[in-house]
Amino acid sequence: MNNFKIPATLIPDNDAERIRKLHAYDILDTPEEDTFNKIAVLAAQIFNTPIAQVTFVDEKRVFFKTNLSPLKAIEIDRKDSFCSIAILNSDVTLFENILEVPELANNPFVLMDNGVRFYAGAPLKTTEGLQLGTVCVLDIEPREVTAQQLKMLETLSAIVMDELELRLATRKAMRTQTDMMNRIVHDLKNPNTTISLSAELIKKKADDPKIVADFADRIKRSATSVLNSLNNLLDLSQSENASFRLSAEEVDIVSILETAKRNFELIAYQKQQTITITCDCNAIILVDAIRIQEAFENLLSNALKYSNPNTEVSIYVSAVDGQIIIEFKDQGQGLLEEDKSKLFTKFARLSAIPTGKEHSNGLGLSIVKMLIELHHGKVWAESEGKNKGTSFFIALPIH
């Protein structure tokens, strides 16, 4: 019995989406593993066949994750594989006698010595219904099978998918934790720099009580910022999905910018840089003040870091079409066209380099993008070219 009519084309309409999903599992070109080998062994025992495989159908090839077969190969051409047919069928594809299937008469694995005569393949189906490959059994003799055997083959294919989903979820969780740690470490750098600079200046100005008190307040604010970051880390580590939750309240954007300016005055002072804030509108909106301050401080930090000494960083706040627009404009090194394509991606390396030997890990802009998009806002950059400065813009909805 042959239960599936082979279509004219072996490429399904959703093949591009299917291949993207397959690649997301990072299973292609990986070595044999005991988990998948055992599944193939079980399939061979259920059908009493000499050949059993766990396969994945890529764009032009079929990759064997497990290949219990006299044919020692790790992949074959997609057009020659019976699994390329099986992924077109939502049920088990069964050819009890391939010689009775005219469309397969010229298949090289049928024509070879001791060619394939029997094939049964259960598709590996994702929750979206995309079929990535098969658990299959083959023989050089025609065979008759039972409905129970076919059902067991489907069960084995479901176990393979459970294993793939578990691995994908584990990788995502690890990636989330890594991103979280990178973000917290990045956020701790600026307050630690302020603490260090303040301590140095206190030593130099120990005979001036007013200056000592001022820098002691700066150290206290920075230490509080560090503590808040650590508390956020603890909160996130205890949440199920480690996602960032907003705590929205009505705040004055200018007030947040003034706080960010104070936090960076010492860093700007070291390079004789100035920070100005100009606002021509009512800038009170509903946001998470802590998260928005983090975004502002990342942009201000970058503006100071990549600008030359004795320059100005200007911050403009305006209201346009129901949005508050905040522009961070520097007189720094500007952006090349190739820089613009890499902006806001993690660990991106741009053409500009810090002008005061500051350290950069390429995370700041990706954090800004994440925080602003959580507020349903947008962030972008404009520059007329190299050494012509850069403006970073944040747009936040007023309502």
* Residue 335 within any structural domain of the chain: yes
pLDDT range class, residue 254, cuts 50, 70, 90 = very high
What pLDDT, on the 0 to 100 scale, is given for residue 390? 94
Smallest CA-to-CA distance from 358 within 297, 292, 308, 295 is with: 308
What pLDDT, on the 0 to 100 scale, is given for residue 188? 66
- Do both 259 and 135 map to the same domain? no
What pLDDT, on the 0 to 100 scale, is given for residue 178? 63
Q: What distance in Å separates the CA atoms of residue 205 and residue 211, rounded to the nearest whole number?
A: 7
* Residue 7 within any structural domain of the chain: no
More confident residue, 198 or 33: 33
Centroid of chain to Cα 160: 24
Q: What distance in Å separates the CA atoms of residue 154 and residue 83, rounded to the nearest whole number?
A: 14
For residue 150, the domain's CATH number is 3.30.450.40
Q: With 60 as the cut, is the pLDDT of residue 240 above it? A: no
- Do both 257 and 388 map to the same domain? yes
More confident residue, 1 or 288: 288
List the single range of 231-245, 321-335, 353-367 with lowest mean pLDDT. Answer: 231-245
**Do residues 132 and 124 make contact, with C-beta atoms less than 8 angstroms apart?**
yes
- Do both 158 and 256 map to the same domain? no
For residue 317, the domain's CATH number is 3.30.565.10
Domain boundary among 170, 201, 233: 170
Reported as a single tens digit per residue, the pLDDT across 47-59 is 999 999 999 999 9
Domain boundary among 137, 170, 203: 170
Q: Which residues are 327's β-sheet partners?
A: 316, 393
- Do both 33 and 145 map to the same domain? yes
Instruction: Please enumerate in sequence order all residues whose Cβ is within 8 A of that of 210, keeping only pairs 6 or more positions apart, or say none.
Output: none
* Residue 58 within any structural domain of the chain: yes
* Residue 20 within any structural domain of the chain: yes
- Do both 251 and 396 map to the same domain? yes
Q: With 60 as the cut, is the pLDDT of residue 239 above it? A: no
Reported as a single tens digit per residue, the pLDDT across 176-205 is 666 666 666 666 666 766 676 767 767 776
Q: With 70 as the cut, is the pLDDT of residue 225 above it? A: no
What pLDDT, on the 0 to 100 scale, is given for residue 242? 43
* Residue 1 within any structural domain of the chain: no
Q: With 80 as the cut, is the pLDDT of residue 136 above it? A: yes
- Do both 153 and 256 map to the same domain? no
Domain housing 93: 15-170
Q: With 90 as the cut, is the pLDDT of residue 96 above it? A: yes
pLDDT range class, residue 3, cuts 50, 70, 90 = low
Query: What's the average model confidence in pLDDT over 248-272?
Result: 89
| CB crowding 10-42: b at 16 or more within 10 Å, else e | eebeeeeebbebbeebebeeeeeeeebbebbeb
Query: What's the average model confidence in pLDDT over 72-94?
Result: 94
Amino acid at 70: P
Task: Say how many domains are in the chain.
Answer: 2
Burial of 175 from C-beta contacts in 10 A (0-12 / 13-18 / 19+)? exposed
- Do both 166 and 306 map to the same domain? no
List the single range of 93-107, 244-258, 317-331 with lowest mean pLDDT. Answer: 244-258
Mean pLDDT, the chain, rounded, equals 86
Reported as a single tens digit per residue, the pLDDT across 325-359 is 999 999 989 998 888 888 888 666 777 888 877 76
